[in-house]
């Protein structure tokens, strides 16, 4: 039998709560200032990216081979959205903290927690407001997509939507961290420090220890920036997307635990420990999901279609033993060009890193260092090449299947575009900021007389 | 509602020590005591907003868990300005919307607390008196049978206090139970049916004014005299 609380919680309408959360985030100056700052930042990045793309395109017009390397995703979208990423990393925590920090600092939280909503509903409403805010903050970046197509640029729907989804997920994660920081601390200033410690801290983590061996390599994977990397490379990876969603859920649950003022600190700590443990378990399970799709138009993360089909037909397990240290540039090259593609084309592939560190350059070191050993069935072959052009024929040789013929035509043509983005500057430096200022002014207008007894209350 | 042996310590110091009282439907209970007596701690403990070390709150004979207190009790803290960047009309509309308060109830709350002139003002721009009226209006829009208020008369002048006393008495006459922490004893004497006198987190006395007079052997004493005699 449901408790009375359950019944009351079910009956409480969500609309006023959602409207209040969105009004609260819109009422703060932080959102509008962030939007106004993002306009020129994104606009100038877009202008520069298009200019550089146009320069490369000029050369590519005389040489079709050069055109193949011109992808709007790398040339324009990633650098443009990168500017939005910087703004979100550094400034969005201040916007997201407001959804709870203001209520906590003013004492209004003591009214909020008495309302007939479950804590999870209160947190979900706040996350919804954060989502609305991140969509608003994305407006300048999304406007560049419209400008790019209007300049004659090409957009691939799967890779563009994948990139946008990555940035939205990243923004939501930053928002969830800020929400937790606001719930766990007493003032918005402290919450901002905690949230920035996560965002900027993981940035530093990414810069300083990425590519280092052992535990440092593992630590660098916790960086928030790493999340975006796979989306920017045009990969839709279930482990990354679901991992981010699990992390958002974990931080939101932690925020819920620390929201209730009527619960003793030691109880909150105990519940938080369980929550962190549960999130870690979910993350550990999620990273096991192998599903990944290359959504790029040029299939840069995959072998050519004919090779992918041929490799998929190889039924026996493949074992790869790499005698390279993880920080060795050859290993990074091999990982990017061969191993990651191979793991998706042949799911039954085991990769073993046989060398933990590079030998000292004395000439008397490990002779086998640099070798990559492939074992398929009972046959084994060794190479020192990290190029798929050498490794794929080696694999076909091991499997005793013929080298597939490339598919005729239909290759990626490349999308060179010589365009002048000067025309967009007045929009990003003038029209859009004015539009945002007008929306800000609209949001600050008082309600009409009679509003309180006519619009939002029941008859 | 019964409050049994509520105890709260901050470090070695007792903020509340075995505080107990009961209250019946339609009754107005005044919690009085000097500054630092534990009035606000008691109210927050009863409302479930501050974890207590021990003690219980019972509703109709059954223990009322902290998570369910909000079904029966609504607490209006002292000195709170909710949603300061919002307009008064929007704040009222929010609470009315959450509790599905009928339009007539909203209109009545605005009228009784004379909030019409400030509906289009931001909460942060309100004077102390209007801020207090807004909180009272929120209290009027909530449906819980027990309304707990911390210093409901703070910020009101004489006439406004009289009007609010009248309004609270009407509320109680309608069956709503009120628990008020009041430091102005003359106001408390006018509005409350019974009193709980707190000092240093302990209950010094409880009862009606007449019962307190008998206890202090001062048959014509005011609440202020009794307070001074007992503290």
Q: What is the 3-state secondary structure (H, E, C) of A351-393?
A: EEECCCCCCCCCCCCCCCCCCEEEEECCEEEEECCCCHHHHHH
Sign of the Cα pseudo-torsion (B54, B60, B62, B67, in order): negative
pLDDT of residue A348: 86
Which of A340-349, B78-87, B174-183 shows the lowest per-residue confidence on average (mean pLDDT)?
A: A340-349
Query: Does the distance separating the beta carbons of A264 and B99 come in below 8 Å?
Result: no
Is B101 touching A (CB cutoff 8 A)?
yes
Could you give the residue ranges of the DSSP H alpha helices within A210-264? 215-220, 224-232, 238-259
Q: Quick one: average pLDDT of A329-351? A: 88
φ/ψ region of B63 (left if φ > 0, alpha if ψ in -120 to 50, else beta) reads beta
Secondary structure of A296-329 as H, E, C letters? CCCCCCCCCHHHHHHHHCCCCCEEEEECCCCCCH
Specify the pTM. Answer: 0.88
- pLDDT, tens digit (0-9, with 9 covering 90-100), for A380-418: 999 999 999 899 999 999 999 998 888 776 678 889 999
**C-alpha count within 13 angstroms, C-beta hemisphere, residue A174:** 33
Does residue B8 contact residue B52 with C-beta atoms inside 8 Å?
Answer: yes
| Nearest residue on chain B to A115, alpha-carbon basis | B70
CB atoms under 10 Å from CB of A409, counted, come to: 5
Report the interhelical angle of A238-259 vs A265-286 (nearest 10°). 170
Chain A neighbors of B70, CB-CB under 8 A:
5, 113-116
B62–A contact, CB cutoff 8 A: no
| Closest Cα in chain B, distance from residue A253 (Å) | 17
Of residues B129, B223, B214, the one with CA closest to residue B183? B223
Strands A379-383 and A372-376: antiparallel
**Domains, chain A, ranges and CATH?**
9-295+420-443 (no CATH), 305-399 (3.40.30.10)
Q: What pLDDT is attached to residue A5?
A: 42
Cα B47 from chain centroid (whole Å): 11
Q: Looking at chain A, which residue has its C-alpha nearest residue B142?
A: A115
For residue A274, the surrounding DSSP H or E stretch is: helix A265-286
Residue B69 · residue A260 · CB < 8 Å: no
Nearest to B147 by CA among B178, B192, B182: B178
Q: State the Cα–Cα distance between residues A195 and A187, nearest whole angstrom.
A: 12
DSSP B169-197: HHHHHTT-EEEEE-S-HHHHHHH-SEEEE
Over residues B195-217, the mean pLDDT reads 92
To the nearest whole Å, the CA of A110 is away from the closest chain B CA by: 7
Select the residue of B44, B50, B96 nearest A456 (Cβ to Cβ): B96
A427 or A405, greater pLDDT: A427
Q: Which residues of B touch A129 (CB under 8 A)?
A: none
Mark yes or no for CB contact A24/B83 under 8 Å.
Answer: yes
- Strand pairing report for B28-32 and B194-199: parallel
The residue in chain A having the minimum alpha-carbon distance to the alpha carbon of residue B51 is: A262
C-beta atoms of A452 and B119 within 8 A: yes
Beta strands B54-59 and B146-150, pairing class: unpaired
Question: What is d(CA A357, CA A27) in angstroms, rounded to the nearest whole number?
Answer: 55
Q: Of A27-36, A79-88, A126-135, B154-163, which gets the smallest average pLDDT? A: B154-163
Interface of A with B (CB under 8 A): 3-5, 8, 12-13, 15-17, 19-20, 23-24, 27-28, 102-103, 106-108, 110-111, 113-116, 261-264, 267, 446-447, 449, 451-459
| C-alpha distance from residue B75 to each of A326, B100, B144, B201 (Å) | 60, 19, 10, 20
Q: How confident is the model at residue A174 (pLDDT cuts 50, 70, 90)?
A: very high
Note the pLDDT tens digit of each residue in B1-54. 999 989 999 888 899 999 999 999 999 999 999 888 999 999 999 999 999 999
Q: Would you say residue B170 has pLDDT above 80?
A: yes
B139: pLDDT strictly greater than 90: yes
pLDDT at residue A9 tops 60? no
Does residue A84 contact residue A141 with C-beta atoms inside 8 Å?
A: yes
pLDDT for position A213: 62
How crowded is residue A44: how many other Cβ atoms within 10 Å of its Cβ?
Answer: 17
Q: Which helix (H) or strand (E) holds B150?
A: strand B146-150
User: Which residues of chain A neighbour B77 with C-beta distances below 8 Å?
Assistant: 107, 110-111
Q: Do A15 and B97 touch (CB under 8 A)?
A: yes
Q: pLDDT grade, residue A214 (50/70/90)?
A: low
Average of per-residue pLDDT across A121-147: 96
Interface test with A, best of B85, B118, B134, B141 (most A CBs within 10 A): B85
Distance from CA of B91 to the nearest CA of A (A): 9
Mean pLDDT, chain A, rounded, equals 88
The answer, for B81 touching chain A at a CB cutoff of 8 Å, is yes
**Of A4-18, A282-296, A309-323, B210-224, the least confident:** A4-18
List, in order, residues 6 or more apart from B181 with CB less than 8 Å away. Answer: B30, B31, B32, B39, B40, B42, B43, B78, B149, B150, B151
- Distance (Å) from the C-alpha of residue A101 to the closest C-alpha of chain B? 12
């Amino acid at each position: 039998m449901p408790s009375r609380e359950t019944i009351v919680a079910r009956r409480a309408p969500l609309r006023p709560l959602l409207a209040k959360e969105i009004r609260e985030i819109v009422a703060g100056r932080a959102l509008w200032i962030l939007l106004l700052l993002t306009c020129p930042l994104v606009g100038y990045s877009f202008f520069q990216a298009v200019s550089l793309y146009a320069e490369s395109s000029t050369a590519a017009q005389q040489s079709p081979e050069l055109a193949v390397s011109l992808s709007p995703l790398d040339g324009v979208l990633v650098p443009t959205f990168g500017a939005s990423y910087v703004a979100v990393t550094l400034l969005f925590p201040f916007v997201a903290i407001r959804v709870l920090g203001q209520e906590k600092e003013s004492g209004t939280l003591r009214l909020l927690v008495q309302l007939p909503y479950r804590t999870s509903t209160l947190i979900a409403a706040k996350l919804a407001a954060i989502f609305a805010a991140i969509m608003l903050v994305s407006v300048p970046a999304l406007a560049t997509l419209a400008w790019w197509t209007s300049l004659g640029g090409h957009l691939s729907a799967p890779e563009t939507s994948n990139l946008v989804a990555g940035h939205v997920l990243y923004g939501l994660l930053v928002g969830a961290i800020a929400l937790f920081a606001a719930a766990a601390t007493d003032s918005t200033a402290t919450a901002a420090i905690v949230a920035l410690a996560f965002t900027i801290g993981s940035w530093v983590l990414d810069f300083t220890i990425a590519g280092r061996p052992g535990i440092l390599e593992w630590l660098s994977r916790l960086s928030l920036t790493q999340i975006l990397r796979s989306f920017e490379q045009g990969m839709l990876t279930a482990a990354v997307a679901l991992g981010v969603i699990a992390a958002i859920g974990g931080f939101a649950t932690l925020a819920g635990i620390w929201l209730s003022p009527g619960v003793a600190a030691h109880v909150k700590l105990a519940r938080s420990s369980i929550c962190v443990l549960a999130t870690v378990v979910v993350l550990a399970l999620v990273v096991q999901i192998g599903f990944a799709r290359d959504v790029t138009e040029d299939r840069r993360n995959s072998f050519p279609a004919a090779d992918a089909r041929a490799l998929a037909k190889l039924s026996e397990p493949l074992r790869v033993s790499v005698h390279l240290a993880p920080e060795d540039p050859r290993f990074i090259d091999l990982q990017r060009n061969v191993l990651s593609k191979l793991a998706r084309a042949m799911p039954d592939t085991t990769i073993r890193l046989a060398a933990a560190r590079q030998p000292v350059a004395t000439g008397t070191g490990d002779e086998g260092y640099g070798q990559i050993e492939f074992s398929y069935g009972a046959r084994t072959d060794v190479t020192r090449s990290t190029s798929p052009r050498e490794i794929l024929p080696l694999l076909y040789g091991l499997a005793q299947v013929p080298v597939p013929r490339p598919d005729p035509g239909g290759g990626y043509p490349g999308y060179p575009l010589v365009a002048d983005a000067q025309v967009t500057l007045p929009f990003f430096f003038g029209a859009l900021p004015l539009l945002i200022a007008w929306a800000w002014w609209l949001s600050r207008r008082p309600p009409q007389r009679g509003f309180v007894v006519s619009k939002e209350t029941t008859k | 509602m019964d409050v049994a042996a509520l105890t709260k310590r901050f470090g070695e110091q007792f903020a509340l020590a075995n505080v107990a009282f009961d209250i019946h439907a339609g009754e107005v209970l005044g919690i009085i005591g000097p500054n630092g007596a534990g009035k606000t701690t008691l109210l927050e403990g009863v409302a479930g907003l501050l974890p207590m070390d021990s003690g219980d709150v019972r509703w109709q004979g059954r223990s009322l868990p902290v998570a369910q207190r909000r079904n029966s009790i609504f607490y209006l803290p002292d000195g709170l300005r909710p949603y300061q960047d919002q307009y008064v009309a929007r704040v009222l509309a929010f609470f009315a919307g959450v509790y599905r308060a009928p339009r007539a109830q909203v209109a009545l709350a605005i009228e009784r607390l004379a909030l019409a002139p400030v509906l289009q003002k931001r909460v942060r721009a309100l004077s102390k008196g209007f801020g207090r009226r807004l909180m009272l209006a929120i209290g009027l829009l909530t449906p819980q049978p027990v309304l707990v208020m911390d210093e409901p008369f703070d910020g009101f002048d004489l006439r406004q206090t009289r009007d609010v006393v009248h309004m609270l008495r009407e509320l109680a006459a309608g069956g709503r139970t009120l628990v008020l922490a009041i430091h102005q004893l003359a106001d408390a004497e006018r509005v409350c049916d019974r009193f709980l006198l707190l000092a240093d987190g302990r209950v010094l006395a409880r009862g009606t004014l007449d019962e307190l007079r008998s206890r202090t052997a001062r048959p014509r004493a005011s609440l202020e005299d009794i307070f001074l005699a007992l503290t």
